[in-house]
Amino acid sequence: MTRSRSLEQAILLEDLLVIIASLFLAHLAHGYLASALPGLKPPVATGEYAHLLLVFLPTWVFASQHLGAHHLRTLTGPRLVLVRRVIMTQAWGLGAIAVILLAAQTALNRSLIATFMLVSTVLLLLGKAVQRGWVVRHRGASRALLIGAVDDGVAHEIERLDGRRVERSATLDPVALGARLREGPVDEVVVGGQMPAEEFRRLVAQCAEAGLPTLVRIDHGLTTTAPTTTPPQTDLPPPVVEIVGATPYLVYQPREHHAPALFVKALIDRVLAAALLVVLAPLMLVVALLVWIFVGRPVFFVQRRGGLFGRPFSMLKFRSMRLGAEDEQRELLHRNEMDGPVFKMAHDPRVTRFGRILRRTSIDELPQLLNVVAGQMSLVGPRPLPLDQTRALHGGHRRRLAMRPGLTCLWQVSGRNEVGFAEWMTLDLRYVDSWSLTLDLAILLRTIPAVLSARGAR
């Protein structure tokens, strides 16, 4: 439910890109067909038919909105319904082209139009199959926490129509909610049942502090638990309305990043990470061999860390410590040089000589490019913490989990381990609250001199 609108906008954008690409592919295909079948009209320049997109695309978007071809509930529903709605949306676009060309008495290369419709329909259906698999896989891993008296109908809407896993909790106690949020990943909180307005504000504020959206059902234009507008004396985020199934919800969300920008960020992340893996492959092979020789096997250090909303994932690094280093950490806790629930040491005895070189040059982080390609991390984002440290984050510090973790961040380029825990968290929250593609670019550019200077690297 939460972020559904942004995700649906990204899906619609992908569909439009497929249609635009289909015009150029149809032109190429039509050229081959015209040379093989003399009865067809010869191919014409693509530009002469590009104007048809000005008619087709707006009509297609209108039909998609009306029929729900890009809606999550359509993607996660029966396959036959999805195919039918794609074909019906295509028919709307074809009808618009036919009406405009007929009214304008324009000569029509019907074979090219037919090729375009065939190519675009096939590619859209293939794209929908990929989108469906992605949504089912990723949204099915998302978790909605239902607290209070949430009826079965609401749970059904969220689970079936929005593709999320549902977890129930009968208590509305803020302390119990905070403890649950620290235990494991939660993507959104749905509040049900009657409660005093002040208690509702505390719950929403606690979720907002953790970077989580809070949803409350609207009945007949009014919520069952709170006013439809945020009281002026509170710092709650302003609510917006989202609809799942036939039910509208008020969503209190700290900040919802622009969907197309997030899509571009994810695309840049994976393309750049894949390119860097290709370019740096010889270096990584040499480093892996040296780790094997000077540090030992296994070459990679794999550790479970907290990702988006605290969701666990296996982060990769070149191994810089001796075997069994994690088990020795308890004996070194009294030497921790970082305040807060994190562990940092300037001269960690578990790190090997060659491992220190890897750490000072940040080469040990290069395998995380594979995490970026897999979508578990971004190039830029708050650094992921081990699971025990992630669970130990309290209050507003948990809002740093609202963005996908990254290879580099403001903390990395501001001195890393020379920065105290409170300032570290402040830098991460500043990034989350003011994120933009421009900020990502600035951090990436600042990362290069930060790595070369090795400031704060341990």
User: 34 with 115, same domain?
Assistant: yes
User: 46 with 129, same domain?
Assistant: yes
Please give the pLDDT value at position 152: 78
Of 237, 249, 238, give the one whose Cα is nearest residue 205.
Answer: 237
Please give the pLDDT value at position 36: 64
User: 440 with 333, same domain?
Assistant: yes
Boundaries of domain holding 437: 259-453
User: 326 with 177, same domain?
Assistant: no
Please give the pLDDT value at position 162: 60
Measure the CA–CA gap between 280 and 365, rounded to whole angstroms.
Answer: 12
Last residue within a domain, chosen from 108, 139, 170:
139
Place of tokens 């119990």: 176
Contact by Cβ (8 Å): 296, 323: yes
User: 229 with 147, same domain?
Assistant: yes
Kindly state whether residue 340 falls inside one of the protein's structural domains. Answer: yes
User: 69 with 135, same domain?
Assistant: yes
Specify burial of residue 452 (Cβ count, 10 A radius: 0-12, 13-18, 19+): exposed
pTM passes above 0.95: no
Measure the CA–CA gap between 316 and 3, rounded to whole angstroms.
Answer: 29
Kindly state whether residue 300 falls inside one of the protein's structural domains. Answer: yes
User: 122 with 155, same domain?
Assistant: no
Q: How many domains does the chain have?
A: 3
Please give the pLDDT value at position 224: 44
Kindly state whether residue 458 falls inside one of the protein's structural domains. Answer: no
Distances (CA, A) of 354 to 112, 280, 344: 63, 19, 19
User: 394 with 415, same domain?
Assistant: yes
Please give the pLDDT value at position 117: 87
H or E segment to which residue 48 belongs: helix 47-50
Please give the pLDDT value at position 158: 75
Please give the pLDDT value at position 230: 44
Ranges assigned E (strand) in 193-309: 214-219, 222-223, 239-244, 247-252, 300-306
Last residue within a domain, chosen from 252, 284, 315:
252
Please give the pLDDT value at position 246: 67
Q: The domain spanning residue 217 has which CATH number?
A: 3.40.50
Core vs surface per residue 334-363: b (16+ CB within 10 A) or e: eeeeeebbbbbbeebebbbebbbebbeebb
User: 211 with 265, same domain?
Assistant: no
Please give the pLDDT value at position 379: 94
Low-confidence residues of the chain: pLDDT under 70: 1-6, 30, 34-52, 73, 77, 100-109, 136-141, 160-163, 219-235, 244-246, 255-259, 328, 334, 337, 417, 454-458
Question: Phi and psi dihedrals of 387, rounded to 5?
Answer: -60, -40
User: 52 with 68, same domain?
Assistant: yes
Place of tokens 């129930």: 168
H or E segment to which residue 433 belongs: helix 421-433
Please give the pLDDT value at position 454: 64
Last residue within a domain, chosen from 201, 223, 252:
252
Contact by Cβ (8 Å): 97, 56: yes
User: 436 with 300, same domain?
Assistant: yes
